[in-house]
């Protein structure tokens, strides 16, 4: 990650108020720099990547599954934002995914059974056509590095795991008779 580095995250969560205040200012500056950069490349995004960037707030989404098949990486997320749909990203990869399982210091890694999507950064890789590098930081300390052409995005209403509010869309489900 170039903008939201593990070092910046560690400082952002520091107990020392001065360190934390400095990190908050650096965090805001990193957000501005990344947004400015993203604005310069977004018009070149392929359709799936554009949909993923424009349609979803992925921060704190639960990573329900992560797997590979035939040169693709499949990630199923349950979004944190209502109505907490399940979103499946199927990455059309140009190289095998790289995983750094220790991108975050041990004290910053979540011990939760289900990791969450923390931050991601997209970078344009020049070429004809351009390709894309995405870095994803998960709460368990993993950083995924993905070199991709595009992403296929699919969304479904969650039944299991149920959304936090317990509301489950049952329209179209046929109850089983006793």
Domain-wise residue ranges, the chain: 46-156
For residues 94 and 157, give the distance between their C-alpha atoms in angstroms, rounded to a whole number: 30
> Which residue in the block uniquely carries the two structure tokens 């944190």?
80
In tens, the pLDDT along 101-120 reads 999 988 889 999 999 999 99
Residue 71 CB burial class (10 angstroms; 0-12, 13-18, ≥19): exposed
pLDDT band at residue 174, thresholds of 50, 70 and 90? low
Q: Which residue has the higher pLDDT, 161 or 57?
A: 57
Name the CA dihedral angle for 72, 101, 41, 125, rounded to a multiple of 10 degrees.
Answer: -70
CATH 3.30.1540 fits 46-156, yes or no: no
State the first-to-last Cα distance of the chain, in angstroms, to the nearest integer.
Answer: 55
Which pLDDT belongs to residue 19? Answer: 85
């Amino acid at each position: 990650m170039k903008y939201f580095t593990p070092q910046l995250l560690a400082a952002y969560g520091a107990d020392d108020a001065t360190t934390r205040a400095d990190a908050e200012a650096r965090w805001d500056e990193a957000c501005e720099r990344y947004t400015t950069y993203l604005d310069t490349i977004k018009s070149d995004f392929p359709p799936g990547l554009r949909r993923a960037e424009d349609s979803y707030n992925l921060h704190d989404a639960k990573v329900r599954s992560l797997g590979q098949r035939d040169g693709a990486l499949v990630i199923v997320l349950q979004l944190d934002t209502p109505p907490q749909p399940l979103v499946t990203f199927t990455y059309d990869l140009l190289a095998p995914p790289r995983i750094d399982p220790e991108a975050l210091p041990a004290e910053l890694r979540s011990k939760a059974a289900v990791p969450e999507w923390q931050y991601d950064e997209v970078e344009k890789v020049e070429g004809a056509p351009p390709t894309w590098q995405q870095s994803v930081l998960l709460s368990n300390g993993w950083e995924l590095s993905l070199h991709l052409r595009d992403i296929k995005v699919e969304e479904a209403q969650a039944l299991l795991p149920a959304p936090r509010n317990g509301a489950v869309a049952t329209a179209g489900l046929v109850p089983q008779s006793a």
